[in-house]
Amino acid sequence: TALFLCVLFLAYFALQVIYARRKHKISPPETKGHPEFERIFRAQANCSEYFPIFISLLWVAGIFFHQGVAAVCGLLYLYTRFKYFQGYAVAAQGRLGPLYASARLLWLLLGLAGAGLLAHFLLP
């Protein structure tokens, strides 16, 4: 579920970049222009950059720790990234609260994945 939602969110973020390009008449490959476009572009790029880390941790935590706990963390992470995107689109400062929350959730997933791996390989 979290993986499917993540793909939908990434598609939504990409569409927002397309709409901002059209709105402000900024053709690819340009990445500079109206400040609103630049914020939306950066928000989409930042979310995409963290996608492989998130998915990797989600899967390892789900397989080796607990599927339900990992799924809840994954859904919360996606919610914080959505709020991050929305906040960043309005103002650069609007991204900070959700950014910190999503980082804490990634650390939590890392801890769960690590604990699951340790338990799997070190405990009989």
Q: Is the pLDDT assigned to residue 108 strictly greater than 80?
A: yes
> What's the predicted TM-score (pTM) here?
0.94
Q: Is the pLDDT assigned to residue 124 strictly greater than 90?
A: no
Listed residue (55, 45, 68, 63) closest to 120, CA to CA: 63
Burial class (CB in 10 A: 0-12, 13-18, 19+), 13: buried
What are the structural domains, with CATH classification, of the chain? 1-23+32-119 (1.20.120.550)
Task: Quote the pLDDT of residue 69.
Answer: 97
Task: Quote the pLDDT of residue 3.
Answer: 82
- Residues forming the active site: 22, 95
Confidence class of residue 9 from pLDDT cuts 50, 70 and 90? very high
Q: Is the pLDDT assigned to residue 1 strictly greater than 80?
A: no
